[in-house]
Structure 1
Amino acid sequence: MDDEVRITLRLPADLHSWLAAQAKSARRSLNSEIVHRLETERGTPPADGGLS
């Protein structure tokens, strides 16, 4: 990412737990998992080139 913006995100506890588990199994941080999923859904290649 060229520029980054910080946001506060409120998630239901069960969604947070699920995302955290998905991130752990993919060996990504929770932030990276959320960004990866958003980029995938948007149809853009991951910022890391798909390496994470």
Structure 2
Amino acid sequence: MDEEKRITLRLPADLHAWLAAQAKSARRSLNSEIVYRLEGERTAAETDTESP
């Protein structure tokens, strides 16, 4: 990641709680968990567009 950007993100309380629990079980910060999941989705989307 060459450059980082800050954003304000509003989440439903139940989604926030779920993400926080997932982050804790993976020993990641909430921010790192969100980035990890978004990067995984981006990779999957890129793979889908490359498939014939």
Moved over 4 A (4+): none
Shift of 1:11: 0.1
Please name the residue that 2:47 is paired with.
none
**In 2, Cα distance between the equivalents of 1:40 and 1:23?**
15
Provide TM-score, normalisation by structure 1. 0.81
Distance in 2, Cα, partners of 1:2 & 1:24 = 26
Q: Which has the larger radius of gyration?
A: 2
Q: Extract unaligned runs of 5+ from structure 1.
A: 45-52
Unaligned runs of at least 5 residues, structure 2:
45-52
TM-score, normalized by length of structure 2? Answer: 0.81
Aligned partner of 1:40 in structure 2 is 40
Count of aligned residue pairs for this structure pair: 44
Identity over aligned residues, as a percent? 84
**RMSD in angstroms over aligned alpha carbons?**
1.1
Greater helix proportion: 2
Which one has more relative contact order, counting CA pairs under 8 Å at least 6 apart?
1
Q: Distance in 2 between matches of 1:30 and 1:40?
A: 15
